[in-house]
Every structure is written in C-alpha cells, then in structure tokens.
Amino acid sequence: MAVVRDGGRDRVPPHPDVRDVGLQRVLEALVDPVRRRIVAALDAAGADLSCGAIDLPVSRSTATHHFHVLREAGLIRQYYVGTSRMNALRREEFDAVFPGLLDAVTAEHARP
C-alpha cells in the first residue's frame, strides 16, 4: 500500500503486525460494545467503510478514539481515500492468529 503524503505528514497511520499483538490487548479492545459494533459492521459489510458510514451512538471524537483502539489492537487497517478515512477489518490476518475469535464477536450482532 502506498503512503499518501499530506503536507509532509504520512496519511496512513502505523499498524501493528497482528502476530505481535497479545490476546490481552485484543480482548481489552473488544470489551467495549461500541468497538464490537464497529467490528461487526465491517464484517457484515464485507467491504471497507469510512468512519462516518458506521452508525455509532457516540460523538465523532469518541468514535475516533474507538477506531484508534481497534487499529492499535491490530483489528482494523485504516487508510485515506481523498479526505475519507477508510477502515478495513483485518479478518484473514486475525483469523490466522486468533482462529474463531472474530466469529464469536460478530455472532453477537448477527442474532435477531
């Protein structure tokens, strides 16, 4: 993925290697229902979504914090398309390291 520069600043934030993220950090990221909702929305969409495309019951600044926590835990990848910050669930990478965990998390949101 090419790094897009904006005034000399990298516009693609750093992403940890999923293999280097411990289970404790992942579970702490997923303990919050808003973050689980983000993960479930990305999984259900089957495509990358902008931050604003996911309906969240929190302010924009709080949503930014939640996306940051998910990125730092290795669950999502973020990049820019124009001025939109896009989010991609790192399912394949994540399933290789923590098999079944995302299925369990997203199953909660798939129930009627």
Cβ atoms < 10 Å from Cβ of 82: 8
pLDDT tens by residue, 2-43:
444 444 345 788 999 999 999 999 999 999 999 999 999 999
pTM for the model stands at 0.87
Backbone angles phi, psi at 107, to 5 degrees: -60, -35
Q: Give the residue extent of every domain in the chain.
A: 18-110
Q: Which of 93, 100, 106 is nearest to 42 (CA)?
A: 106
Cβ atoms < 10 Å from Cβ of 19: 9
User: What top-level class would CATH report for the domain 18-110?
Assistant: mainly alpha
pLDDT tens by residue, 95-107:
999 999 999 999 9
Q: Is 84 helix (H, G, I), strand (E, B) or coil?
A: strand
Q: Which of 109, 25, 106 is nearest to 69 (CA)?
A: 25
